[in-house]
Structure 1
Amino acid sequence: MNNTLIKGLGVIELLAHSDRPLGLTEIATHLGLAKSNVHRLLQALTELNYVIRDASGTGTGYSASIKLWELGSAVLSRLDLRRHAQAWMDKLMHASGESVHLSVLDRAEVVYVHKIDSPNPVRAYTQIGGRALAHCVATGKAILAFQPDTALQRMFATLAPSTPNSIVEPERFLREMAKVRKEGYAVNRGEWRETVYGVAAPICDGNGHVIAAIGLSGPAERFKPHKIKGFAALVLNAATEISDDLGGGNRHNALALATRSMVAMRRG
């Protein structure tokens, strides 16, 4: 085998599974390689856009880039997140009359990997491949809430406002994340676009990791409190079913919480 290729793949896998940027010394130590060797590998991987170099006041760190997701999306038919989600996205749209989104997280943003538009003439407009600040949209908050604490702490530097309703204060942001974890779903109240609201729930893989979110969005006037409660029950049910399809019974606590919340709302 080509040793350079093996080492390069080792670097990519290490960064892909890390919940924070890693320094040159950390990478070299973890992989048992010389720092000079790792430095050359990182230079090549950065030039090829597989790795992002992050410079901060505490030094330089390296992270896996979105290119890995782009490659993964090319074989999405195997993971088949979209295929598993399609039927439930259709059901959500027909049950709610609102636009449905399937999103994944890329650092501080969500990427819309699939969507079904509302039949209503007035609706939320997005496009597949489009992006939004994760802390400002429901699908983003539904994923962020189940990230490691270190990842949430790093978010503080990226909490830029999109509207006056955006949550950008660190303490308030952490309270919002705790609320999402407790209830199992997230709500966007005009935080990305002032006139657009949304509700979303996390989707888990077979290892119990939150890998995506499914959500509804539409004009604020159609997302009154009683409607949000009903929409939350719909997205929670869809997220649970999709997660079951992807991995069976080994679900993240998020889905257990989501199921309990859904049952409680249906009884209420």
Structure 2
Amino acid sequence: MNNTLIKGLGVVELLAHSARPLGLTEIAAHMGLAKSNVHRLLQALTDMNYVIRDASGTGYSPSIKLWELGSAVLARLDLRRHAEAWMDQLMHTSGESVHLSVLDGGEVVYVHKIDSPNPVRAYTQIGGRALAHCVATGKAMLAFQPEAALQRMSAALVPSTPNSIVDPAQFLQEMAKVRKQGYAVNRGEWRETVCGVAAPISDGNGQVIAAVGLSGPAERFRPQRIKGFAELVRGSAAEISDSLGGGSRHGALALAARGMATLRRG
């Protein structure tokens, strides 16, 4: 593997996640590299327009080129295009924020979201990440991973809040429950005051490739409403799966109808 390329990408990632420009010394300290090495990397990245220097000439930031590349990739993600209409409907029906996530190792990456109009809502960022075992969309995808992978993961779980599931046996039991009921619930496991409900999305081969979910303040996610939300996200996930070549359209419509009825009773 090309070490120079790896180090260069590490610098780009560091700058992309920094809230402010970073100087040569700071970057070298973060990366554990000699300043001369970092200087050469920055020079190459600047020449390629991936990094820019600030007016003082001492700070470095990612350039707009990274945004352009990211936008080009997102524009080609059929998943977002297929999911957006159903996500919008889900937000209007539930009144809560809707997220579309994919799995990356032990984390979820939020690839799309539609915010709730409520002034008090759950805040996330497209491109943001969260521990998969602590959020509903992550659980919805993890549950359909191979059993051997879940066994390995269960031995290395870390908490985000006191509510996070980190006991191996409890985690495996939770995964079995998600598989059985077809949806996952986050009960303040990533942020103590935020709850969520999500369901898996499958491709034309029946493989789980993403998840769609609702999230919001815990006080709005009481047990009866969670039941209604669960039916809604299962219905939306089935519709999105159907648009990708999998799932059952009629089953999804029935789920959505039952979900709306439950919400009205709640």
Distance verdict in 2 for CA 1:112–1:87, change over 3 Å: same
Indicate which of 31, 44, 47 corresponds to 2:2.
44
Distance verdict in 2 for CA 1:189–1:262, change over 3 Å: same
* 1:91-102 matches, cutoff 5 A: 91-102=89-100
Q: In the TM superposition, what is the alpha-carbon distance from 1:48 to its structure 2 partner? A: 4.5
Q: For the Cα contact (< 8 Å) 2:141–2:209, is it kept in 1? A: yes
- Secondary structure of 2:141's match? helix
Partner of 1:226: 224
- Secondary structure of 1:194's match? coil
What stretches of structure 1 of length at least 5 have no aligned partner? 1-42, 50-70
1:182 & 1:160 partners in 2: Cα distance?
25
Q: Deviations over 1:234-253 (max 9, x none)?
A: 1000000000101145x8xx
Give the AA of the match of 2:191: R
Q: In the TM superposition, what is the alpha-carbon distance from 1:147 to its structure 2 partner? A: 0.3
Q: For the Cα contact (< 8 Å) 1:183–1:258, is it kept in 2? A: no
Q: For the Cα contact (< 8 Å) 1:183–1:261, is it kept in 2? A: no
- Secondary structure of 1:240's match? helix
Distance verdict in 2 for CA 1:238–1:150, change over 3 Å: same
Does residue 106 of structure 1 match 2:64?
A: no
Indicate which of 116, 119, 135 corresponds to 2:114.
116
What stretches of structure 2 of length at least 5 have no aligned partner? 8-68
Partner of 2:47: none
Partner of 1:83: 81
Deviation larger for 94-103 or 71-80: 71-80
Percent identical pairs in the alignment equals 75
* 1:175-214 matches, cutoff 5 A: 175-214=173-212
Q: In the TM superposition, what is the alpha-carbon distance from 1:118 to its structure 2 partner? A: 0.7
- Secondary structure of 1:193's match? coil
Give the AA of the match of 2:154: F
Partner of 1:158: 156
- Secondary structure of 2:244's match? helix
Q: Which has more radius of gyration?
A: 2
Q: For the Cα contact (< 8 Å) 2:195–2:217, is it kept in 1? A: yes
Distance verdict in 2 for CA 1:117–1:261, change over 3 Å: closer
2:245 & 2:193 partners in 1: Cα distance?
36
Partner of 1:19: none
2:214 & 2:199 partners in 1: Cα distance?
10
1:77 & 1:83 partners in 2: Cα distance?
8
Q: For the Cα contact (< 8 Å) 1:156–1:170, is it kept in 2? A: yes
Q: In the TM superposition, what is the alpha-carbon distance from 1:135 to its structure 2 partner? A: 0.2
Distance verdict in 2 for CA 1:248–1:209, change over 3 Å: closer
Question: CA RMSD of the aligned region, Å?
Answer: 3.3
Give the TM-score normalised by the residue count of structure 2: 0.69
**Aligned length, in residue pairs:** 205
Give the AA of the match of 2:222: K
Q: For the Cα contact (< 8 Å) 1:166–1:190, is it kept in 2? A: yes
Q: Deviations over 1:82-140 (max 9, x none)?
A: 01000011001100110000000011100000001110010001100000000000000
- Secondary structure of 2:158's match? coil
Q: For the Cα contact (< 8 Å) 2:197–2:226, is it kept in 1? A: yes
Indicate which of 231, 234, 237 corresponds to 1:236.
234
Distance verdict in 2 for CA 1:105–1:266, change over 3 Å: same
Give the AA of the match of 1:173: F
Partner of 2:12: none
- Secondary structure of 1:158's match? coil
Distance verdict in 2 for CA 1:72–1:244, change over 3 Å: farther
Q: In the TM superposition, what is the alpha-carbon distance from 1:256 to its structure 2 partner? A: 11
1:192 & 1:257 partners in 2: Cα distance?
31
Distance verdict in 2 for CA 1:267–1:93, change over 3 Å: closer
Give the TM-score normalised by the residue count of structure 1: 0.68
